[in-house]
Amino acid sequence: MLNTGFPVLSALILFPLVAAVVLFFLRGEQTIRVYTLVVSLIECILVLPLLGFDTTTAEFQFVERVAWIEAWNIYYYLGIDGISVLMILLTVLLFPICVLCSWKYIGKRVKEFHFCLLLMTTACIGIFSALDFILFYIFWEAMLIPMYLMIAVWGGPKRRYASLKFFIYTLTGSTLFLAAIVAFFINTGTFSIPELMEHRYTFQFQIWTFLAMALAFAIKVPMFPFHTWLPAAHVEAPTAGSVLLASILLKMGTYGFLRFSLPITPAASDFFAPLMITLGIISVIYGSFVALGQSDMKKLIAYSSVAHMGFVTLGIFVFVSRGMEGAIMHMVNHGIITGALFLMVGLIYERSHSREISENSGLSKHVPVYTSFLLLFTMAAFGFPGTNGFFSKLLVLLGVFEASYFLGVLFLFGLILGLAYLIRLMLNVGWGTPSKGAGWKDMNIREWIYLAPLGLLIIYLGVAPGRAMNFIGPSVENLLNNFEAERHLIIEPGLQPGPVIEQLIPGPILEQLQPGPSLEQLQPGPNIEDLRPGPILTSGYDSGCEIETGQKDEFAGPNLAKIQNNLLLKSKY
Amino acid sequence: MMPSILLQTIIVPALVALVILIFRFQLGKKSGWVAVLGLVYTTFLLLVALVEVYNGAPIKESYQLLKSPDISVTLMADGLSIAIALICNLLCLALGTYSIKYVAHRIEILYPETLGGRGEISYYSCFFYLFLFFPVGFMGVSFATDLVLMYFFLEILTLFLFFLMAYFGYYERVWVATMCLIWGVFSALMFLGGVVIIYSQVGSFQIDQIHMMAGEPLAFWAIALVLFGMFAKLAIVPLHVWMPWVHAEHPTCIAGLLAVYANIAAYIIVRMLVLPLWDDFQWFGPPIMIFAVITMIYGSLLTLAQTDMKRIPACSTISQSAYSMLGIGALTAASIEGGLFFFLSHIMGKTVFFSVCGMVVYITHTRNIRLLGGLATKMPLTAILFLCGGMMLAGIPPFSSFAAEVVMFAGIFERGDTLGLVVGIIGLLAILLTISYAVHFTRVIFFGPMPENIAKDDHIKDPPWTMTVPIILIIVVSGALGLYPTLVMELFEPVISAAVANM
Amino acid sequence: MDIQFAWLCLIFPLIGVLLTPILSRISTPVMNYGAVFFSFLTAASAVMMLPLLFSAERLPLESTFVWLHTPITVSFGVLLDPLSVIVANVVAVISFFIMIYCLGYMKGDPGIMRFWMLMNAFIGSMLLLVLANNLIIIFIGWKLVGLCSYGLIGFYYRDERKYWIGGPAPFAFDKPSACGVKAFIVTSVGDMLMLGGILIMYYYSGTFNVLELYQTAPEWIPVMADTPGMIILVSILLIAGPMGKSAQFPFQEWLPEAMSGPGPVSALIHAATMVKSGVFLIARFIPIFYYGYWTAGVEDAMYFFLIVAWVGAITAFLAASQGLVATELKKILAYSTVSQIGYMMLALGVAGFGQDILVKGYMAGTFHLMSHAMFKACLFLCAGTVIHAAHSIYIDDMGAMRKYLPFTWVFMGLATLSLIGVPPLPGFWSKETVLVATLESHHYMLFAIALVSVVFTAFYSTRYFAMIFHGKPSKHIRKETSKPGHHVGEGYRTQTFACGALAVGIVTFGIFGLKAEHAITDLVSLQLVTDLGLATVDHVYSYPKIMVVFLSVGSVLIGAVPAYFFYFSGRWNADAVYRNSKLIRMVHAFLWNRWYINSLYTFVFVRGFMGLARIVADKIEKAADALVQSRLPNGIFKISKGTVWFDQRAIDGVVDGTAYSVVNSGQLLSRIQTGRIQEYLALAVIIALTISGIIWLS
C-alpha cells in the first residue's frame, strides 16, 4: 500500500540523527525537552507507513539499497520483514515515553541526555532494519556509546562500575561478532545478509561462527552465565535507560538469533540447540529464583527479564512455528511490560527516593491509580489471560510442549516461580504492611500520558493478538522452512551439498508430509543417528519435527492421519 | 428468544460493574441494589435460556473477534452448563442482596475512619463492582467452549477474589488473599499445562475436539496435570490447606461463592476430561475415589473440631466438594450426574450455611462458638436457616442434596466392583459425620442456655430481611429441586447419560 | 377412589404444617384446634381405607407419579396392601388421640407453634413412610420422621434444669438438646447403611418399587447370590436401618434419652409410631429374602432372618432387664418399648425359619405392633399426666397417687396389664402369637430368652405401677401435696379424654383379640401367599397351643408376684435386699448402667471421634498447614537467597574478580576507566580480526 518509493527506514534512522545535531543549537532545559518530545512524536508519525507492511509475504520490504563501499562490497542496505517490523514499532513508541519519563528525573546535562536518547533511537532502528552486516555492526556498536553514557553520567551511585561492566561485557560480545562477520566475508565475499542466508557453509565453519555470534547474542539477551551485567546496569541506569535497556537492547540478542544464527548457520543452530535450550531453561528458573530473593524493585525486575528472555530463547530454539511466533511476540510484549514496570519503579522512586520493596509497601490506600497500573503490568508480566503476556507465553508454551514434554513441565515450573516473584512485588507494594506514603501524590497527567498507551497496548495485544501476529506469520514460516531444509544437511565437515542432498531438500513442507511413497522417501535410513550431530541433552529435548526423526514410531505409524490433521490445522493459522 | 442471551449474561454484570464504578458517588449506597438489579436481569435471561434448552437443542452463540486470523468466541449452553450457570447466578443474586447490609457493616468495622465520607461510598461500591465479576467468571466458565476462554475466566475469578478478600476480609486478610491467589493461579497453571498438552495433540483449544486425543499415551498426562490443578482447587487432601484459611477469612457475604469457586472444578473435570477422554480417564477413577473418601472423612473430622464460627463451613467445604469428586471418580452415568447434582446442592447448602454463620457473626460480633449458645430464642429464624443449611449439606430430604446423593451412590454401586462397594459404604458412613457436625453445631450455637451477655444484649435479634430473604429463596430452590429432581436430571441427561451410553 | 384416601393422608398433614404459622397469626387457640383438626382429617382418611381390608382381594393398590426417570428410575407413589393399611391406621388414629392430649398438655408453651408444625410434619412423614410404594420414598419418609423426632426430642432446646433427664443427682444428667443430637446421629448410622443396602439392591434389581422388587426377585436374587457374601452384606445393611430406627441392639441406646421430649411426643414417636417403622420395613423386606431362601434356594438369605430374630430376642431381654432397675418413669417405658419391639423383630425373624411359620410370624409381628402401639401410647400419655402431677420424673418421688389421679389410675392400670400380658387384653393375645411362632420355629434358645423377658416385663411393669399409685407416698409427693393449691391431680380434660379413649380401645381390642388375630392372619396369608405367591406349607402345631398360654401366664406370675410383694404390699423390702447382697448390688449396677453399653459407645464413638477430630485439627492439619504454607515458601525463599548469593559471589564474582585482578596487577585497563572508549574499540577490532582469522583457518 505504502510501499512507494519513499525511504521510510532511512527517514526513521536519519531524522533523529539530524534532530540530534539541531539539538546542539538549542538552549534551555525545558525547550530541549519539548523539542525532543516533538521530535519523538514526529518520529511516531514517520513510522506510520510501516503499518502498510504486507503481511502476506516473507520477503524483505521497504528495501533500500545503495552502494556504500563498493570495493568491499558494503552496501547501505535496509529492509524489514515480519520479525523486525514489530521491534521498530516498539522502539519508536518507547521513544516519547522515555522523553516523558525523564522530564523531572534528569536534572543535569539535559542536552546531552537527550542527545543520547536521539542517538539511541537512530541506532536501534538501524539495528532492526540493517540488512548489511557492516551496517548492522555499526549500529550495534553505535548503540553502546549512548547507553554507556546514560549509565555512566546519569546513573546511580555505583554508575562507574555498572557502566564499565556493561561496556566490557557487550564489547566482548561485539568483538566476537565482528570476528564472525569477518569470517563470513572471507568465506563468501559479501556482507549482504540475504545473500549470506542463501549460502551454505561447512559444518565446522558453522559451528565456529555460530559460537562467535551466539556469545555476543547470549550476552545481550542475557543468558544464564552472562547475565550479571544486567542487574548492575539496570539498577544504576536512569529510568529511561532502564526502559531502553530492557525493552530494546535485550531484544537485540534474540533478534540476532533469529536474523543470523538460524538462517545462516542452521546446522550449527540445530547442533547447539540443546545447549541453548538448557541455558534458556536455566535462565528461566535461575532468574526467577534470584528475582524472588531481591529486595530492590529494580533488581527484581531486572532478574525477571533474565527469566523472561529465557522464555524467548526457549521459544526460538525449539524450532516450532508456535514457539517462534510466541518468542517474537514475547520480545515485543516483554518490551512493553518490562518497560512499563521500570517506569513504575521510576515513578515510585521519584516519590520515595528508594527502590526497596519494604520502603514502598502498602501503597494501594495512598496511590490507588499507581497501584492499579502496577497491578496491570505485573499481571501482564505474569501472563494473566487477557493481557499480552498471556498470549505470547501460551504460544511459547505450546511450542515447547510440542518439542518436549519434559521441557514443558520445567517451563510450567518457571511460570509458577514467575508468579511467586511478581506476586511478591505486587502484593507487597500494593497491600503490604503500610510504610510511608501517606502524603504522596498519585499519578499526574504526564505520567498518565505515558503509561496509558502502554496499558492500552497490553490489553489490546492481549485481547486481539491476531493483528500483530499477522506481521510475523509469513516470516516465521519462511524462516522455519529454510531452517528445516538445511538443519540436517551437513553430513560431513567439508562436504559440499551434492545431488543426494538436493533430492532431500523438501519443497513446501506440507507436500512432503502427504502419506504415500514420498513419506517413505523421507524416512531416514538406519544411519540417521550417526548422521545427526551428537546429542548433548537429548533426554530433555526432541527436535521439532517428529516424522523425520523416525524415533517416535507410534506417532509416525498409526496416527499419521492425525498428525497430518494437526499440521493442517497449524498451517491454517 | 432474546438475542445473544449467553453473551449478555457474561457482559451485563461486567457492564453493571462499570456503571457502578463510574457513577459510584452518584449512586452511593444504592449501588448494591443496582448490582442486584443486574443480576435479576441475568437470572431472568438464564431462565429464558433454560426453558429454551429444556425444550430443545443447546444454545450456541459464536462471535467473531477477528476475521483473519479467525479468532472467535463461542459460547454454548447445554443442559449441563445451563443448570450450573443458573444456580451459580442465583447464588450470586442471593448473596448480592445479602451483601447490601453486610458490607456496610464490614466497612464500619474495617474502615471506621471513612464513615460518612466519600471513602465509605467508594469502599461500598468497590465491593459491588468487584463482586459482579463472580457471575462473569462463573457464567464464563460454564459457557466457554474453548479451553483458553475457560482459563481466562478461571483467572478472572481468582483475581477478583483476591481483591474482595484483601479489602473486605477478616484477620490477616492480605496474607490469606495472597495465598488464595497463589493457589488459584497455581491450579490454573496446571490446568493450562494440560490444555497445552491437549493442544499439542489435537491442534485446537475447542472442547469438542478434545476427544481426538483419546487413546493417546499423552492423554494420561494431560488428564493428570489438569486433575492435579483441579484437585488443588477442589481442596482434595493433601492439597486442601488453603481452604480453611481462605474460606474462613473471607467476607462472609461472598463466602458462599467460594464454595462455587472451588467446586466448579468438578464441572471442568467432567466437561473437559471425563466426557471427551472417557477411556483414558478410567485409570483415574479408583484413585480419585480413594482420595475423595479420604478427603470426605478428613474434612468432616476437621470441621467437627472447629470452634470458629466461620471455619466450620470452611472446613466442611473440603469434605463436601469431595463428594462430587467421589461421584465423578466412580465413572458411571448416574454417579457423574449425581456428583454434579451434588455440586449444585452443595453450593446452595454451603451458601446458606455460610451466610447464616455470617448472620450470627454480624449480629453477635463474635466468631468463637464457645461464647455463643441458646441463640434460637432470640434468633429463631436464623436457627432454622442454619439447621436447613446443615441439612442441605447432610443430604436430608427434601433438599436436593438427598436426591443427588441417591443418584450418586446408586451410580457408585453400579460400578459393581468391590472398590465401588467399599467406597460407597464408607462414603455413606462419612455422611454421618456431616450430619454430626450439622446437628452438633446447631446445638452448640443455637440451643442450650444463653450466656449472660447475649441474654442482656437487646441488639441480638433476627437479621434484616435483605439478609434472610435471599437465603430463604435458596432453601426454597433447593427444596424444589429436591422434590422434583427430574428437572435437573433431564437437563444433564443428553449431555452425560447419552454420551456415556455411547462410550 | 380408595387410593385417593392414601394421597389425602399425605396431603392433610402437609396442609396442617403450612397453615399453622398462618393460623397462629389469628390466635393461639385457633392454631391449636386447627392443627388437631388436620390430624383428625388425616385419621378420617386413614379410617376410610379400612373397608379395603374387608375386600382384601382388591389389594394391593398402587398409584404412582414419576419422580425421577434418568439416570435412575424412582417413582413417587402410594401402595395399599394389608400391611400398609393396618400400620397407616395405627399411625393416623393414635396420633389423632395424642394430638387431642396435646391440646391440654402443651397449653401455654411458648414453642407451641413449632410443636404443632413438627407434630403434623411427623404424622405426614410417617404416613409417607408407611404408604410409599418405593424404597427411596420410604427412605425420604424415614429421614423426615427422624428429623421431626430430632426436633421434638430437643423441643426444650434451652435445656432448662427441669427438662433434664437422667440422674438422680449423683448420676449424670442429659440435656434435651444433646439427646436430640444423639437420637439423630444414632438413627442416622442405620439409615445410611440401609441406604447403601437399598442402592446395592437397586444395582441388582433395577428398581426401587416394592412390588416390582417382589415380582422380579426370581431374576435378580440369583444374580446377587453369584457374588459370595453379597446377600449377607445386603441383609446386614438393610437390617441396620430398622435396627437404628426401632432402637434395637446395637443401636438401642438413643431411645431412653429420647424421653427428654414432651410426654405426648414420647407417646407418639418413641412408642407408638416411629419406632415401629423399623418393624414395618423388616416386614416389607421379608418376602424378598423369604423367596431367596425357600424358593431360589440361596443359603445366605437365611442370615437375614437369623439376624433379625436374634437381634430381636437379645434386645427384648436386654432392654427388659434394664427396665428392672430404672427409676425414671418414661425411661422405664422406653426400655419397655425397646423390649417389646424386640418381640416384634423376633416374630418377624422367625417367620423365615420355616415354610410353615411365615404367616404366623409375620402376623405375630404385625399384631404385636398394633396392640403395642395402642397400650404403649396410652401408657405414655398417662405417664405424662403423672409426671406433670408429681413434678418429678422419678418413680421413687411418687407413691400413693391413686387418690389424686383416679382416672389415670384406671387407664394406666389397663395399659400396664396389657403390657404385662394379662388376658384378655390385647398385649396378651399378641405376645402369645409371638411366643407361639418362636416356639414353633424350634429355636428354643430364642423362646427361652423371650420367656425370660416376659418375666422381666411383668416385674418392672408391676414395679412402676405400684410405685406410682400404691405404697407409701414419697417425701417429694408429700411436699407437693402439702403446698396450698397444689397441682397434684388430673390434667386438662382433653388429656384424660385421650387416655380414656385409648384405654377403651385397648379393652375393645382385647375382647375381640382372637377375632383380630384370625382376621390379620387371613390378611397376611392373602398378601403373602395369594398375592405374592410365596411358597408356604400349612402349619401343624407340634406343641399344644394351651402350653404356650400356660408358660406365658406362668412367666407373668413369676415376674409380677415378687414385684407385688416388694412394691405393692410392701411386705418385702427391696432396699434391704439391695443392701444385703453384694451380687444384687453388682447386678443392679450393671443394669443401672445399661450394661455399660452406653458408656462404651460414648467412649468409643463420641470421645473417639471428637478425639480423632481434635487430632486431625490440631496435629495433622497444623502440620500440613505449616508444611505447605510456611515451610515451603520459606524453603523457596531460602533457595532464592542462596541463588542470590551464588549469583553475586560465584558468577558475578568470577567476572569481577578477573577484571579486578587484571586491573590491580597490570593497570592495563585502568586507562579505559578514564573514558577513552575509542582505544577499547580499537582493541576489540584487533581481537575480532584475530579470531576471525582463526575461524577462517580452521
Gap between the Cα atoms of A167 and C131, Å rounded: 93
Cell of C691: 579470531
Chain C residues with CB-CB distance to B503 below 8 A:
none
Whether residues A466 and B69 touch (CB distance < 8 A) is answered with: yes
C265 touches C330 (CB < 8 A): no
**Is the Cβ of B66 closer than 8 Å to some Cβ of chain A?**
yes
pLDDT tens digits for B156-213? 898 888 888 888 888 788 888 888 888 888 888 889 888 888 888 888 888 888 888 8
User: Does one domain contain both A153 and A84?
Assistant: yes
A444 touches A392 (CB < 8 A): no
B residues 54..73 contacting C (CB < 8 A): none
B residues 316..355 contacting C (CB < 8 A): 333-334, 337-338
For residue A67, what are the β-bridge partners? A75
Gap between the Cα atoms of B466 and B470, Å rounded: 7
CA distances from C573 to B467, C562, C578 (A): 65, 11, 9
Best of C691, C694, C697 to substitute, by most chain A Cβ atoms within 10 angstroms, is C691
DSSP SS3 for B460: coil
Pure H helices in A130-198: 133-154, 159-188, 193-198
Chain A residues with CB-CB distance to B181 below 8 A:
423, 427
**Is the Cβ of C651 closer than 8 Å to some Cβ of chain A?**
yes
Report residue C538 CA to chain centroid gap: 36
Looking at every residue in chain A, the average pLDDT score rounds to 78
Cell of A127: 539495528
Nearest chain B Cα distance for residue A287, angstroms? 19
Q: Letter for the amino acid at A313? A: T
Residue C633's pLDDT band (cuts 50, 70, 90): confident
Gap between the Cα atoms of A225 and A279, Å rounded: 8
DSSP SS3 for C471: coil
* Residue A209 neighbours by CB under 8 Å, 6+ apart: A180, A183, A184, A201, A264, A265, A268, C695
For Cα atoms C183, C189, C190, give the angle at the middle one, nearest 5 degrees: 100
Cell of B422: 467399599
Chain A residues with CB-CB distance to C662 below 8 A:
none
Q: What DSSP assignment string belongs to A367-425?
A: -HHHHHHHHHHHHHHHT-BTBHHHHHHHHHHHHHHHH-HHHHHHHHHHHHHHHHHHHHH
B432 touches C192 (CB < 8 A): yes
**Is the Cβ of C200 closer than 8 Å to some Cβ of chain B?**
yes
Q: Among all chains, which residue has been given the C-alpha cell 504492611?
A: A433
Gap between the Cα atoms of B345 and B337, Å rounded: 12
Proportion of chain A above pLDDT 70, given as a percent: 84
Cell of B399: 433438599
Cell of C240: 441396620
Cell of B501: 451410553
Cβ burial, residue A282 (10 Å; 0-12/13-18/19+)? middle
**Is the Cβ of C672 closer than 8 Å to some Cβ of chain A?**
yes
Q: Among all chains, which residue has been given the C-alpha cell 516465521?
A: A476
Give the residue on C whose Cα is nearest the Cα of B430.
C192
Average pLDDT over residues C654-662: 62
CA distances from C546 to C364, C432, C437, C511 (A): 17, 10, 13, 18
Helix C632-646 vs helix A266-292: angle between axes, to the nearest 10 degrees?
Answer: 120
Domain that holds residue B162: 5-502
Give the residue on A whose Cα is nearest the Cα of C681.
A171
**How would you write C326-389 as a 3-class SS string?**
CCEHHHHHHHHHHHHHHHHHHHHHHCCCCCCCHHHHHHHHHHHHHHHHHHHHHHHHHHHHHHHH
Domain-located, residue A487? no
pLDDT score of B30 more than 80: yes
Domain-located, residue A484? no
**Is the Cβ of C612 closer than 8 Å to some Cβ of chain B?**
yes
Q: Letter for the amino acid at B175? A: W
* Residue B448 neighbours by CB under 8 Å, 6+ apart: B373, B374, C157, C158, C159, C175, C177
pLDDT score of B58 more than 60: yes
Chain A residues with CB-CB distance to C692 below 8 A:
178-183, 186, 212
Gap between the Cα atoms of A153 and A106, Å rounded: 10
B56 touches B78 (CB < 8 A): no
Gap between the Cα atoms of A234 and A246, Å rounded: 8
* Residue A340 neighbours by CB under 8 Å, 6+ apart: A373, A377, A380, A451, A454, A455, A458
Nearest chain B Cα distance for residue C242, angstroms? 16
Residue of A164, A178, A286 with shortest CB distance to C643? A286
Pure H helices in A293-387: 297-317, 321-352, 368-382
Best of A395, A397, A545, A553 to substitute, by most chain B Cβ atoms within 10 angstroms, is A397
User: Does one domain contain both A182 and A299?
Assistant: yes
pLDDT tens digits for A388-445? 888 888 888 888 888 888 888 888 888 888 888 888 888 888 887 777 767 788 788 8
For residue B73, what are the β-bridge partners? B63
**Is the Cβ of B444 closer than 8 Å to some Cβ of chain C?**
no
pLDDT tens digits for C45-87? 999 888 888 877 777 888 888 888 878 888 888 888 888 888 9
Q: How many domains does chain A have?
A: 2
Nearest chain A Cα distance for residue B67, angstroms? 9
Residue B67's pLDDT band (cuts 50, 70, 90): low
**Is the Cβ of C688 closer than 8 Å to some Cβ of chain A?**
yes
User: Does one domain contain both A388 and A285?
Assistant: yes
**Is the Cβ of A415 closer than 8 Å to some Cβ of chain B?**
yes
Residue A381's nearest CA partner among A430, A324, A420 is: A420
Chain A residues with CB-CB distance to B218 below 8 A:
405
pLDDT tens digits for C152-195? 988 888 888 888 887 777 788 888 888 888 899 999 999 999 99
A341 touches A301 (CB < 8 A): yes
Chain C residues with CB-CB distance to A186 below 8 A:
692, 696
Average pLDDT over residues B416-435: 89
Whether residues A385 and B185 touch (CB distance < 8 A) is answered with: no
Residue of A382, A385, A466 with shortest CB distance to B66? A466
Q: How many domains does chain B have?
A: 1
Q: What residues does each domain of chain C span?
A: 60-77+169-592
Q: Letter for the amino acid at A358? A: S
Whether residues A420 and B66 touch (CB distance < 8 A) is answered with: no
Nearest chain B Cα distance for residue A416, angstroms? 7
Residue of A175, A209, A227 with shortest CB distance to C687? A175
Q: Letter for the amino acid at B23? A: F
**Is the Cβ of A449 closer than 8 Å to some Cβ of chain B?**
no
Whether residues C150 and B439 touch (CB distance < 8 A) is answered with: yes
Chain B residues with CB-CB distance to A418 below 8 A:
none
B338 touches B407 (CB < 8 A): yes
Nearest chain A Cα distance for residue C693, angstroms? 7
Chain B residues with CB-CB distance to A405 below 8 A:
197, 218, 221
pLDDT tens digits for C468-509? 888 888 888 888 888 877 777 787 888 888 899 999 999 998
What b-and-e string marks burial along C51-83, b requiring 16 or more CB atoms within 10 Å of the CB? ebbeebeebbbbbeeebbebbbbbbbbbbbbbb
B17-24 CB contacts, 8 Å cutoff, 24+ apart? B17/B128, B17/B129, B17/B130, B17/B132, B17/B133, B17/B136, B18/B129, B20/B125, B20/B128, B20/B129, B20/B132, B21/B125, B21/B129, B24/B121, B24/B122, B24/B125, B24/B126, B24/B129
Residue A65's nearest CA partner among A7, A123, A13, A14 is: A7
Chain C residues with CB-CB distance to A291 below 8 A:
640
B35 touches B103 (CB < 8 A): no
Nearest chain A Cα distance for residue B102, angstroms? 22
Q: Letter for the amino acid at B153? A: F
Cell of C384: 405424662
Whether residues C698 and A208 touch (CB distance < 8 A) is answered with: yes
**Is the Cβ of C370 closer than 8 Å to some Cβ of chain B?**
no
Gap between the Cα atoms of A136 and C65, Å rounded: 84
Q: Which helix (H) or strand (E) holds C691?
A: helix C677-697
Nearest chain C Cα distance for residue B246, angstroms? 12
**Is the Cβ of C685 closer than 8 Å to some Cβ of chain A?**
yes
Residue of A384, A385, A401 with shortest CB distance to B200? A401
Terminal Cα distance for chain B, rounded: 34
Backbone dihedral region for residue B395 (phi beyond 0: left; psi -120 to 50: alpha; all else: beta): left
Highest mean pLDDT among A72-81, A525-534, B273-282: B273-282
Cβ burial, residue B112 (10 Å; 0-12/13-18/19+)? exposed
Q: How many other CB atoms sit within 10 Å of the CB of residue C338? A: 27
Does the structure's ipTM exceed the value 0.90?
Answer: no
Predicted local distance difference test score (pLDDT) of residue C326 = 87
Residue of C71, C610, C612 with shortest CB distance to B489? C71
A474 touches A56 (CB < 8 A): yes
pLDDT tens digits for B278-310? 888 898 989 999 999 999 999 999 998 888 888
Range with the lowest mean pLDDT among A25-29, B68-72, B215-219, C393-397?
A: B68-72
Q: Which helix (H) or strand (E) holds C694?
A: helix C677-697
Pure H helices in B56-172: 79-110, 118-131, 133-143, 147-168
Best of A417, A431, A546 to substitute, by most chain B Cβ atoms within 10 angstroms, is A431
Q: Among all chains, which residue has been given the C-alpha cell 537527550?
A: A114
**Is the Cβ of C74 closer than 8 Å to some Cβ of chain B?**
yes
**Is the Cβ of A55 closer than 8 Å to some Cβ of chain B?**
no
Proportion of chain C above pLDDT 70, given as a percent: 94
Q: Letter for the amino acid at C436? A: V
User: Does one domain contain both A455 and A554?
Assistant: no
- DSSP-derived letter for residue A534 is P
Query: Which residues of A lie closer than 8 Å to C, measured between beta carbons?
Result: 141, 145, 148, 152, 160, 164-165, 167-168, 171-172, 174-183, 186-187, 204-205, 208-209, 212, 225, 227-228, 232, 286, 289-294, 420
pLDDT tens digits for C378-396? 999 999 888 888 888 888 8
Domain that holds residue A547: 506-571
Q: What DSSP assignment string belongs to A489-526?
A: ---STTPPP-HHHHHH--SSHHHHHSSSHHHHHHS--T
